[in-house]
Homo-oligomer: A and B are copies of this chain.
Amino acid sequence: MPQSELLQLLASVQAARGGASQSAHSSSHGDVDCSIEPTQIEGVFLVSTTDFFYPLVDDPHTQGRIACANVVSDLYALGLAHCDTVLMLLAASTEMEPAVRRRATELVMLGFNDAAADAGTRVTGGQTVLNPWPIIGGVASVVCRERDFIRPIHARPGDVLVLTKPLGTQLAVNAAEWHRKKILAKKAPSFVRRYAAPAALPADAAEPLDDDRHVSPAATAAVAALLGRAVDGMTRLNRHGALAMHRHGAHAATDVTGFGIRGHARNLALAQTADVSLRIDRLVLYKDTPLLATEAVGFKLLAGYSAETSGGLLVCLPPDTADAFIADMCANSGPAWRVGEVVACASREARDAFFADNVEVLEV
């Protein structure tokens, strides 16, 4: 559901109940990505999170892995590298033949279980229903003490923002879908032109390409390569990020998912104890997504609002440890990049996530 519609709903429910608002609770406790609740046992907290969505990729096993990586990521954003248990949320499609449905659901479950094993945890329950659209998701929970997690509330002006996965998964997934449906040339003519053999181009290069006649083998390969990079990112666990956050004294973090980097950066700014904003100096994008983003309608990647699935961690680090954090990630998980800075702002109301003038676009 769109963030604006959801926020309106939550506000209505809070207003009707007249109680302390969820957002006030969130900002003081750091419930940005997870619910963090004290329990009846002194000093012991329950941290839990849920997320579910619709299939993004054709391969069910990969889809299961992505869904599990996505849900445990919310714990990792709190520096929690351990997960006690995962519950699986599934809907099998009423529109599939029963035999196909059974095999697809089985593979989704296997992929989900495999990613849970990689995360050092176990699927101990869940719920499966029939639904027109297939659904895959989960619930991740851990019981811990205050010292085990890093509440995302301690960012300070001067902190360096580090991102641990490139952006652009939604466009990558959509490019593959457009290619499959043979509408790639219409949706992203520049992308096709870049990869088309010159002889295949129409006489007037400005003329819109209205079908896939001009999609060269090179363009087909480029779409597959882009999807491959995005799947590699989406299936990678952010687990090492949680460990590195502790090692290098991270002040706060979030993971980039449905609201895009700017949506989540803004939520993170609002959650801080200090009045701060987050300035984004650099957009690190999967190679070829900027070209797709300039033409595809409805994708706000270059504005920082394109949804990610199982995106990277956005971490606020002291300036003197940011490079060590990046080196640690490179050595043990994957590349990470400086993407901005925490800056002071005048008031709570002024907090925001904004782009620097001449924000750099880095394609990887």
Contact = CB atoms under 8 A, between A and B. Distances in A.
A37 B84 CA distance: 7
Contacts of A46: 46, 84-85, 141-143
B133 A127 contact: no
Interface stretch (A49-57, A223-231, A283-291): A49-57
A100 interface: no
Interface stretch (A7-15, A263-271, A274-282, A347-355): A7-15
Contact of A102 (B9, B85, B113, B124): B9
A125 interface: yes
Interface stretch (A104-112, A205-213, A246-254): A104-112
Contacts of A105: 9
Contacts of A41: 41, 44, 143-145
Contacts of A128: 1, 6, 9
A49 B109 contact: no
A341 interface: no
Contacts of A133: 131-132
Interface of A: 1, 5-6, 8-9, 12-13, 16-17, 31, 34-35, 37, 39-41, 44, 46, 48-54, 82, 84-85, 87, 89, 92, 102, 105-106, 109-110, 113, 122, 124-133, 135, 137, 139, 141-145
A87 B124 CA distance: 17
A85 B125 contact: no
B139 A44 contact: no
19 contacts: A1-B92, A6-B128, A9-B102, A13-B110, A37-B124, A40-B84, A40-B143, A41-B144, A46-B84, A46-B141, A46-B142, A46-B143, A48-B48, A49-B125, A50-B89, A50-B126, A52-B89, A53-B129, A89-B89
A268 B99 CA distance: 30
Given A41-B145, A109-B13, A127 B50 contact: yes
A16 B110 contact: yes
Contacts of A135: 129, 131
Contacts of A17: 110, 113
A31 B144 contact: no
A85 B48 CA distance: 9
Contact of A129 (B1, B34, B124, B142): B1
Contact of A125 (B6, B34, B54, B130): B34
A109 B12 CA distance: 10
A31 B85 CA distance: 13
A141 B53 CA distance: 22
A175 to B, nearest CB: 23
A85 B142 CA distance: 13
A139 B145 CA distance: 22
Nearest to A126: B50
A128 B51 CA distance: 9
Nearest to A16: B110
Given A39-B142, A46-B141, 17 more contacts: A1-B92, A6-B128, A31-B125, A34-B125, A40-B144, A41-B41, A41-B44, A49-B125, A50-B87, A50-B125, A50-B127, A53-B129, A127-B137, A129-B135, A131-B133, A131-B135, A141-B141
B35 A125 contact: yes
A1 B50 contact: no
A309 to B, nearest CB: 13
